[in-house]
């Protein structure tokens, strides 16, 4: 039986970079995983929420963006409101970078610039503490250190009430969040970040990046694990 597709909310400001985010997510997925993408910044009335509420997707992935969840741009204001409504329905959701910040903000957390005051780019260590969920989508065993690809200036400054901080680092105390009673997981890093992602987003900070390590970063596993788990869950529910 064919499973439902995932909804990929493309939040980037540039259509060119937006394709980079979406393509990178799709490259990281198993070949049979299907996606439906909505570009939000280009559309005044993206009608994705109705399809979520109608049960047409097995999960949601919210992409990165150069935007901030606190911006007064109409599409951002609407997305803050609608992502809370969507996630309250129990649809499995993964937030990546901006998606991490946006979902936390939508659930009354706070977002702002990190303590370093400049954009962090490159491979960074993150400590995972997620032993209350089995299996953990972040790290086998749920506790230890992973390596992630970071590219962000903003970060989550305070978590929503009762949400679990399941990943942290020295410069970013809230690297990953999990809702206590809903299948929502958010991460500050880019688990979709492969060589093409770097090439399509050129920056001097990437020049010394050890490209051979990109495909082996343990922080990348969260995307594949999330997609595989919820495709499987959806297929079982349809039997």
Say whether 190 is catalytic: yes
Within 8 A by CB and 6+ apart from 172, the residues are 114, 120, 150, 155, 188
Q: From the candidates 82, 192, 220, 230, which is the catalytic residue?
A: 192
Nearest to 179 by CA among 86, 56, 92: 92
* Alpha-carbon torsion, ordered 141, 153, 224, 87, to 10 deg: 90
Compute the distance between CA of residue 153 and CA of residue 150 in angstroms, rounded to an integer. 10
Say whether 97 is catalytic: yes
Compute the distance between CA of residue 187 and CA of residue 167 in angstroms, rounded to an integer. 8
Say whether 203 is catalytic: no
Q: From the candidates 100, 152, 190, 230, which is the catalytic residue?
A: 190
Compute the distance between CA of residue 32 and CA of residue 3 in angstroms, rounded to an integer. 10
Compute the distance between CA of residue 81 and CA of residue 106 in angstroms, rounded to an integer. 7
Nearest to 63 by CA among 205, 201, 234: 201
CB 198 within 8 A of CB 206: yes
Q: From the candidates 11, 22, 58, 97, which is the catalytic residue?
A: 97
Which residues carry out catalysis? 97, 190, 192
């Amino acid at each position: 039986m064919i499973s439902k597709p995932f909804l990929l909310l493309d939040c980037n400001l540039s259509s060119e970079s937006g394709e980079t985010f979406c393509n990178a997510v799709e490259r990281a997925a198993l070949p049979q995983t299907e996606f439906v993408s909505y570009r939000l910044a280009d559309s005044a009335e993206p009608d994705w929420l109705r399809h979520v509420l109608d049960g047409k997707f097995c999960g949601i992935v919210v992409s990165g963006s150069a935007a901030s969840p606190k911006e007064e741009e109409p599409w951002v204001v609407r997305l803050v409101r609608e992502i809370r409504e969507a996630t309250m329905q129990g649809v499995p959701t993964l937030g990546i970078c901006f998606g991490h910040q946006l979902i936390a903000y939508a659930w009354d957390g706070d977002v702002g610039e990190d303590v370093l005051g400049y954009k962090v780019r490159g491979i960074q260590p993150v400590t995972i503490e997620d032993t209350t969920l089995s299996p953990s989508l972040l790290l086998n065993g749920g506790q230890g250190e992973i390596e992630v690809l970071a590219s962000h200036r903003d970060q989550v400054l305070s978590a929503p009430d009762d949400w679990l901080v399941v990943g942290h680092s020295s410069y970013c105390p809230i690297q990953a969040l999990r809702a206590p009673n809903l299948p929502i997981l958010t991460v500050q890093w880019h688990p979709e970040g492969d060589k093409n992602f770097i090439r399509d987003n050129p920056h001097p900070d990437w020049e010394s990046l050890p490209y051979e390590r990109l495909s082996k970063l343990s922080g990348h596993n969260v995307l594949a694990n999330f997609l595989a788990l919820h495709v499987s869950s959806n297929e079982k529910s349809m039997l």
